[in-house]
C-alpha cells in the first residue's frame, strides 16, 4: 500500500472507531449474516450428502443390472434377467467389482381391512445383501437364520421385515399377519401370507414407508421366475462408477445397467434446488448487511460534512476523499466477514463431527416417515467460507460507493457552513 493510501486507510479506521456503537452494530449484522450463511450452507450440503449416501447404502449400491427393456415406471411388469450365470461370471471377472447381490424386486398390493395399498417388495438373500448394502445393519441379527429356511409359500407363513412408517400407518407390530397379492410373470394372481418378523427404520423414507422385505427364494418361486430381477453391484471406487457402468454395459449388451446417479436423479435435483435456495438466502443476508452499511456511510458523510470541507480546503482531492469512505466500507466488510467466519468455525466443526441430534428434537415416527437421519451432520463447506468472505467484502465495498461519491462532490463553501 502506498504511503498516501496508508494514511487514508488509517484515517478511515479512525473514523470508524470514532462512532463505535454504530460501527459495532453494522459489524455484527454483517458478521451474523456471514455466520448464518456458512452454517445453513453446511447443514444443507450435509443433508444432501447423507441422502445420497443413504440411496447408495440402502437401495441401489453403486450399480444396478436390470433385464433389457426394464422401465422403472412399469412397476407391475415382472422382468427377470436372462443368462444369469453368464452375468455372474462376467462380474466375477471384473477386478473393480467388490461384491454383488441378486434380488427379486416387484410391486404388490397389501390387503387391508379398508382396502388395498401398493408396496414395494424386495426378495433378498441376507448373506449376499450385506456385502453390497448396509440395510442389514437395520434388521434383526437373526434374519439370516429366519430367511434361510426352506419355505413353502402355499402352506407356510413367511417372515417379513416392514418399514416403520408403513407399520405405524397400519398399526402393525411384530408377529402380526398380513397378506400381499400380486401378478406372477405369467399374469396369474398370487398371494402370500406374511408374519411381521421385524420392523426397521432407516435413513431412507422410501424404505420406511413403502417397502417389505421377504426371503429371496420365496419371492422367486411366488413370481414363477427362475432368476433375479436385478443385481446390485458394489465397486472399488465410487468416483469411477460412470466408467464401470460403461464397461459393464459393453460386456452385458443384453441388460440395462444404471448407476446410483441415475437411480438418485430426484436427490440430485433436490441438491440443485438446495443450491438455488442457498443463493437466494445469501442474497437476502447481503441485502440486509448492505442496507446497514449504506445507512452507516450516509450518517458518516452527514456527520463529517464540515470535516470533509476542511480537508478539501487543505488540498485533498475528490479521489482521496472518495478513498477514505471506500476504505471504511472495505474495513467493515473485511473485519465483519472475518468475525462471521471465526464465529461459524467452532459450530460448523461441532456439527460436522458430532452432528445435530434429530431424534432428540422430533418424534421418532416423523423421522421414520420422512427418512431423516437420527443424527444430521454438517459438511465443512470450504467454498462456502471463501465465497462468503469475498462477497462480504465486495458488498461492503460496493455499498459505500454512493456515499463516497457524494462526499467527494461536496462543495467546500457549503460544507464549511454546515453546523
- What is the DSSP secondary-structure string of 164-224? HHHHHHHT--TT-EEEEEEE-TTS-EEEEEEEEEEEE--S-HHHHHHEEEEEHHHHHHHHT
The pLDDT of 243-262, averaged and rounded, is 92
Which position has the grid cell 405405524? 168
So what's the pLDDT on residue 368?
66
d(CA 185, CA 368): 33
Query: Which helix (H) or strand (E) covers residue 338, if one does?
Result: helix 318-353
- 2: exposed, middle or buried (Cβ count in 10 Å: 0-12, 13-18, 19+): exposed
Contact 262, 246 (CB under 8 A): no
Tracing cell 478513498 back to the chain, one arrives at: 323
> Looking at residue 65, what is its pLDDT?
95
The tens digit of pLDDT for each residue in 121-176 reads 999 999 999 999 998 888 877 888 888 888 876 677 899 999 988 898 888 899 99
What pLDDT shows up at residue 128?
93
Over residues 381-415, the pLDDT tens digits come to: 888 888 888 888 887 777 776 666 666 666 666 55
Identify whether the C-beta of residue 326 lies closer than 8 Å to the C-beta of residue 5.
no
Q: Please state, in angstroms and as integers, the Cα–Cα distance from residue 51 to each residue in 45, 97, 261, 373, 375, following that order.
A: 10, 24, 12, 9, 12
pLDDT value of residue 419? 47
Tell me how far apart the alpha carbons of residues 357 and 367 are, in angstroms, rounded to a whole number: 11
Delimit the domains of the chain by residue range. Answer: 3-56+267-417, 69-253
Give the confidence band of 196 by pLDDT, cuts at 50, 70, 90: very high
Nearest of 216, 225, 52, 192 to residue 119 by alpha carbon:
192
Distance CA 316, CA 216 (A): 86
CA 140, CA 248: separation in Å to the nearest integer?
Answer: 34
The H or E element containing residue 109 is: strand 97-112
User: Phi then psi for 159, rounded to 5 degrees?
Assistant: -70, 140
- Which grid cell is 29? 449484522
Residue 366: what pLDDT? 74
Amino acid at each position: 500500500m502506498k504511503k498516501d493510501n496508508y494514511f487514508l486507510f488509517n484515517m478511515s479506521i479512525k473514523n470508524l472507531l470514532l462512532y463505535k456503537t454504530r460501527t459495532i452494530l453494522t459489524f455484527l449484522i454483517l458478521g451474523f449474516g456471514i455466520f448464518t450463511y456458512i452454517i445453513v450452507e453446511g447443514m444443507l450440503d450435509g443433508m444432501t450428502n447423507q441422502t445420497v449416501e443413504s440411496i447408495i447404502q440402502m437401495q441401489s449400491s453403486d450399480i444396478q443390472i436390470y433385464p433389457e427393456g426394464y422401465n422403472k415406471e412399469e412397476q407391475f411388469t415382472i422382468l427377470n434377467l436372462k443368462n444369469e450365470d453368464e452375468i455372474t461370471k462376467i462380474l466375477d471377472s471384473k477386478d473393480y467389482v467388490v461384491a454383488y447381490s441378486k434380488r427379486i424386486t416387484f410391486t404388490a398390493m397389501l390387503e387391508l381391512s379398508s382396502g388395498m395399498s401398493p408396496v414395494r417388495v424386495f426378495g433378498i438373500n441376507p448373506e449376499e445383501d450385506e456385502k453390497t448394502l448396509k440395510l442389514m445393519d437395520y434388521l434383526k441379527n437373526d434374519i439370516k437364520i429366519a430367511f434361510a429356511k426352506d419355505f413353502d409359500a402355499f402352506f407356510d407363513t413367511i417372515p417379513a421385515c416392514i418399514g416403520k412408517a408403513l407399520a405405524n400407518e397400519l398399526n402393525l407390530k411384530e408377529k402380526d399377519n398380513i397378506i400381499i397379492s400380486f401378478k406372477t410373470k405369467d399374469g396369474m394372481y398370487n398371494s402370500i401370507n406374511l408374519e411381521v418378523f421385524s420392523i426397521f427404520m432407516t435413513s431412507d423414507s422410501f424404505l420406511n414407508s413403502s417397502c417389505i422385505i421377504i426371503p429371496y427364494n420365496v419371492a422367486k418361486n411366488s413370481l414363477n421366475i427362475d432368476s433375479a430381477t436385478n443385481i446390485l453391484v458394489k465397486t472399488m471406487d465410487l468416483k469411477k462408477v460412470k466408467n464401470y457402468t460403461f464397461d459393464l454395459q459393453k460386456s452385458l449388451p443384453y441388460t440395462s445397467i444404471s448407476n446410483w446417479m441415475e437411480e438418485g436423479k430426484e436427490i440430485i435435483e433436490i441438491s440443485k434446488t438446495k443450491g438455488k435456495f442457498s443463493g437466494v438466502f445469501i442474497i437476502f443476508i447481503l441485502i440486509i448487511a448492505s442496507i446497514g452499511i449504506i445507512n452507516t456511510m450516509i450518517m458518516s458523510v452527514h456527520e463529517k460534512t464540515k470535516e470533509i470541507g476542511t480537508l478539501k480546503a487543505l488540498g485533498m482531492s475528490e479521489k482521496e476523499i472518495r478513498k477514505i469512505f471506500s476504505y471504511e466500507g472495505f474495513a467493515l466488510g473485511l473485519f465483519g466477514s472475518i468475525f462471521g467466519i471465526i464465529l461459524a468455525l467452532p459450530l460448523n466443526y461441532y456439527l460436522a463431527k458430532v452432528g445435530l441430534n434429530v431424534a432428540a428434537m422430533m418424534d421418532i415416527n416423523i423421522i421414520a416417515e420422512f427418512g431423516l437421519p437420527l443424527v444430521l451432520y454438517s459438511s465443512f463447506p470450504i467454498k462456502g467460507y471463501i465465497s462468503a468472505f469475498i462477497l462480504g467484502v465486495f458488498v461492503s465495498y460496493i455499498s459505500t460507493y454512493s456515499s463516497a461519491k457524494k462526499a467527494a462532490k461536496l462543495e467546500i463553501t457549503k460544507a464549511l457552513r454546515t453546523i
